[in-house]
Amino acid sequence: MRSSTKAVIVMAALFIVAQIGALLMVHSVLGEEYQAFEDPNDPLIPVYYLIAIVLFTFLVLYVIRKGRENIVRLVFLGAVAYTMFIVLWAAASSLGIGIASLLVSLALTAILTYLLVKKPEWHVINVTGILVAIGVIGILGISLQILPVLVLLIGLAVYDAVSVYGTKHMVALADGVTQMKLPILLVVPKKMSYSYLEQKPLKKELDEGKERDAMFMGLGDVIIPGVLISSAFYCLASEEVWGIPGNLLVSIGTLIGALIGYAVLMRFVLRGNPQAGLPLLNGGAIAGYAVSYLLVFGDLSLGMTLQW
């Protein structure tokens, strides 16, 4: 099996692990107290969210171009550490071990943050990235109902396509963040000798036309379609269909749709050029959701409730 094919399979496995982890968090740990928004069905929330993402992206690029990467690194590390702690604490608390859950969560967060600062090798990046993805997917999944999630997925798919193929600023952002060794992407080496610490700038590799030694996937490509998977599980009815909870069936169908989108995406990625992941990943997730919802519930509303 070619190294590229193996990398594609491993990346798909990491994608699935993040989604399953988020579903377990939603099922067993996360409740209303973790919801990020007061009105989960407000369709304007994703609009505000998209505006915030665009503004933050350009702010990060501006700071990087001014040579103040340390500011970006500090902000990202703080956000990553906080998210990891929330995930670890929530998971440990569900085990009912009292104050020990807090201490264990703090210790693990401190260790992982230390490794990110001192030796951010690819496996450290992946472990922390998966934890962050699980936390963000789970929290956004319980914080947004189906209509706002669909608006978010469509809006971000359009933005991703424009930023990669049009303005191309997302490629510049990925290049800058890669050099700072921050866990906002997943890294799958194509050979055992690969070291993320020695990774060249992505743009330089593209200009040289050489095959990459590793495959990269932005954490947003894992998180955004995953929000629909978790939201479907949290928001839809759990009445059994064919002996399986209906919400779980729709979540699985949404995941399958996202994986089909992933398979198509990888056909383009293996050609060696940067690709916008969200149009295909989100498109696959939405299609998978629509088909599975209609099969399970037979309701043309697709689980959406309109406020107006």
Q: What is the per-residue pLDDT across 151-172, written as a single tens digit (0 to 9) for each?
A: 999 999 998 888 877 777 676 6
Euclidean distance between CA atoms 90 and 274, whole angstroms: 36
Residue 280 vs residue 243, higher pLDDT: 280
Has residue 50 got a pLDDT over 90?
A: no
Specify if 222 maps to a domain. yes
Q: Is residue 80 part of a domain?
A: yes
**129 — pLDDT class (breaks 50, 70, 90):** very high
Pairing state of beta strands 244-245 and 240-241?
A: antiparallel
For residue 295, is pLDDT > 80? yes
pLDDT of residue 272: 66
Is residue 200 assigned to a domain?
yes
C-alpha 165, offset from chain centre: 21
Note the pLDDT of residue 106: 92
Expressed as residue numbers, the domain containing 208 is 3-297
Q: Is residue 307 part of a domain?
A: no
Task: Answer whether residue 304 is part of any domain.
Answer: no
In one letter, which amino acid is 284? Answer: G
Cβ(73)–Cβ(182) under 8 Å?
yes
First CA to last CA distance, the chain: 54
| DSSP letter (8 states) at residue 128 | H
| Structural domain count, the chain | 1
- The residue type found at 189 is P
Predicted pLDDT at 204 = 63
Residue 42 lies in a domain: yes
In a domain, 308, yes or no: no
Domain-located, residue 231: yes
Q: Tokens at residue 52, please?
A: 């915030």
